[in-house]
Amino acid sequence: MTSFATKSSSIDIFQHYEKKFKALADQKRLQILYILCEQGSTCVCDLVPEMQMSQSKLSYHLKILLDAELIIKETKGTWSYYSLNESEMNQLLSKEFCYLFQPSS
């Protein structure tokens, strides 16, 4: 592992993770991620009844997850399908992230 070259590069990395953890800091968004993890690619039309919320409210939460790059959106005809962005989710628990908080020797 290498240490970070500059203070500004560390700040960029912190901002990158901050956006993701802010997106995760909501019970409804965690529930959406859990559903996508369990079911794979899921139509928004199926998420509405499962989440028991209006489509507009669901869209709000999906947008936050999309902006944080935690989910992927694919449009098929008039429907949107969402799936977990596995590479981003795996990075949240990666050695790279954990290394940020290990004391220097």
Do 29 and 23 meet the contact criterion of CB atoms below 8 Å apart? yes
Question: Is this model's pTM higher than 0.75 or not?
Answer: yes
In a domain, 10, yes or no: no
| pLDDT tens, the chain, 105 aa long | 444 445 567 788 888 889 999 999 999 999 999 999 999 999 999 999 999 999 999 999 999 999 999 999 999 999 999 999 999 988 887 777 777 677 765
In a domain, 8, yes or no: no
Report pLDDT for 6: 56
In the chain, how many domains are there?
A: 1
Report pLDDT for 105: 59
Report pLDDT for 72: 98
In a domain, 82, yes or no: yes
Buried b (16+ CB within 10 A) or exposed e, 37-73: eeeeebebeebeeebebeeeebbebbebbbebbbbbe
In a domain, 80, yes or no: yes
Tokens 């939460």 -> residue: 61
In a domain, 36, yes or no: yes
Report pLDDT for 16: 86
Q: Which of 22, 45, 54, 50 is nearest to 35 (CA)?
A: 50
In a domain, 1, yes or no: no
Domain encompassing residue 81: 26-99
The CATH number given to whatever domain includes residue 46 is 1.10.10.10
In a domain, 16, yes or no: no
Report pLDDT for 4: 46
Report pLDDT for 1: 41
In a domain, 14, yes or no: no
